[in-house]
Amino acid sequence: MLKKGLLVLFSFLITLLYSIASDAYTFTEDFEFGIYWKSYPINFKIYADTSAEWDELYHHSLSSIQEWEEEVGVNVWELNSQVYSGNPSGNFIRWSSNFAEDTGYDPVGTLAVTIRYNNGNFFDRVVIILNAQNSTLKQNFAGLLGKTILHEFGHTIGLGHTDVDAIMFPYTTSISALQNDDVNGAKEAVALNDYRSAIGYMANKETSHGIIPSCGSLAFAGENPSTQSYYNTIITVFSSLLLIIFLKAIGYLLKYLVKEFPLGNIKK
């Protein structure tokens, strides 16, 4: 009876630890629904009011694209080097000084929004809007602008938010480079998009005709640092307790095996 109980406990702990360590990435609702890009690369433009502003956005956008593509191994985006200003069109990234009016999101707690548009089964436009009213973002304090743009480009291919420490985590963290969860999610999203394109996949149900704005994706919403620290502490303590329980279970199992099958009883 004891032997069976220990084996059940051991199996449960292995399964639990595996589930904790597994990928946590998600896809956006529209991508889950079946909407996808008809083909890559996605041609991207940068709109800016000044050359200095354009240069900064181009630098961070190019760096983000290169980081994602180096990990995924596919040419997903094509960044246009032409300087654009005025009324934006197509796929683009720009600053907004009227963030709430342009996006419908609170400018106090939101750094950026990515909005994907679809025409039937296909995405046909995506825009990244950065909150110029947030001085921390505008001044790129602690590299915030770079990692926000890196995060937003993940949304352009259908990556949603994750609940582990990664670029696609929805709150500001010390993470500034792609993590395994980001990379695995992007690889699956690109592979799934390619598969849908190859077979002419149709979404799960009919969509309306014309261009339909998909849900906006919130990135790096404002947070209370003390609250985030509290949750991180709880997670750390919980993980430590699981590890202690796991090690104790291993110890009990080894003691039982030694007791039941002592080395002295093994005959050659």
Considering only 131-140, 160-169, 171-180, 221-230, which range has the smallest mean pLDDT?
221-230
16 pLDDT band, cuts 50/70/90, is very low
Rounded to the nearest 5 degrees, what angle is found at the Cα of 67, between the Cα atoms of 62 and 69?
A: 95
Which range, 14-28, 55-69, 252-266, is most confident?
Answer: 55-69
Torsion of CA 58, 61, 64, 66, to 10 degrees: -60
Mean pLDDT of 17-31: 75
Estimate the crossing angle of helix 51-72 against helix 144-156, to 10 degrees: 60
**Alpha-carbon torsion (213, 152, 129, 38), positive or negative:** negative
pLDDT tens-digit map of 219-245: 444 333 333 444 444 444 455 565 566
The span from the CA of 159 to the CA of 190, in Å, is 10
Q: Which pair of tokens denotes residue 149?
A: 């743009």
Given a contact cutoff of 8 angstroms between Cβ atoms, the answer to whether 203 and 252 are in contact is no
pLDDT tens-digit map of 188-225: 999 999 999 999 999 875 554 334 333 444 444 433 33
